[in-house]
């Protein structure tokens, strides 16, 4: 419970092949994923014996129910080469664990990159400021913040104003259309 809200780590790996002595609650799961933590599901214990298979499936379904499948990575946890599976096989096991098609793909392919990025960011970045304006648009009294917060050895990120027109296609999802509500006056 305390580990979900504090600590210097990136992956929570639970012994899913045996019965968990606690229930994972949505609030705890949300606190962990809100901090950028990921829950690890290992598929190799399912291959070892039938009891581990049943416990892993039950625990994974409880875990995915608590977090709706978000913030999960699927790993092997293999002891022997015979227990390794390809990424598509691991994704198919995700369905068995209670994940949807989209979250299964993320758990195998996308979230692992997210764990590495989160670990690098946590390890390297000491301080950060997010500006909604470019440095040139800042008032003169606030420009000292930019120099004060530059970490040594970190490259500057070039930023352009939102309406510059140089944005690349494919940067994020397209804007959603708002539905019109027509009111009828009596």
Is residue 154 domain-shared with residue 78, that is, in the same domain?
no
Cβ atoms 40, 3 nearer than 8 A: no
Is residue 38 domain-shared with residue 105, that is, in the same domain?
yes
Cβ atoms 32, 39 nearer than 8 A: yes
Confidence of residue 181 (pLDDT cuts 50, 70, 90): low
Is residue 50 domain-shared with residue 137, that is, in the same domain?
no
Last residue of a domain, one of 123, 141, 172: 123
| Per-residue model confidence (pLDDT) at position 167 | 46
What's the rounded mean pLDDT across residues 159-167? Answer: 46
Residue 94 has pLDDT above 70, yes or no: yes
Is residue 17 domain-shared with residue 79, that is, in the same domain?
yes
Cβ atoms 162, 171 nearer than 8 A: no
Is residue 38 domain-shared with residue 111, that is, in the same domain?
yes
What's the rounded mean pLDDT across residues 69-95? Answer: 86
Residue 143 structural domain: 126-159
Residue 137 has pLDDT above 70, yes or no: yes
Number of CB atoms found within 10 A of residue 59's CB: 20
| Per-residue model confidence (pLDDT) at position 106 | 84
- What share of the chain has pLDDT > 70, as a percent? 66
| Per-residue model confidence (pLDDT) at position 140 | 78
| Per-residue model confidence (pLDDT) at position 164 | 47
| Per-residue model confidence (pLDDT) at position 121 | 75
2 in a domain, yes or no?
Answer: no
Contacts of 53 (CB under 8 A, 6+ apart): 45, 46, 47
Distance CA 106, CA 64 (A): 13
Distance CA 182, CA 145 (A): 48
Per the confidence metrics, is the pTM higher than 0.75? Answer: no
Edge-to-edge strand ranges of the sheet holding 11-13: 11-13, 38-42, 72-75
């Amino acid at each position: 419970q305390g580990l979900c809200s504090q600590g210097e780590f990136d992956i929570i790996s639970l012994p899913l092949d045996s019965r968990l002595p606690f229930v994972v609650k949505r609030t705890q799961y949300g606190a962990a994923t809100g901090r950028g933590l990921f829950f690890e599901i290992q598929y190799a214990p399912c291959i070892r014996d039938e009891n581990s298979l049943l416990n892993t499936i039950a625990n994974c379904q409880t875990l995915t129910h608590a977090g709706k499948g978000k913030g999960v990575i699927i790993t092997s946890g293999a002891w022997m080469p015979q227990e390794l599976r390809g990424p598509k096989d691991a994704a198919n096991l995700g369905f068995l664990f209670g994940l949807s098609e989209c979250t299964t793909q993320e758990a195998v392919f996308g979230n692992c990159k997210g764990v590495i990025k989160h670990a690098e960011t946590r390890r390297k970045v000491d301080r950060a400021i997010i500006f909604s304006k470019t440095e040139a648009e800042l008032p003169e009294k606030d420009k000292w913040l930019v120099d004060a917060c530059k970490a040594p050895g970190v490259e500057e990120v070039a930023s352009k104003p939102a309406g510059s027109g140089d944005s690349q296609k494919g940067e994020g999802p397209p804007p959603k259309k708002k539905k019109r509500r027509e009111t009828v006056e009596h």
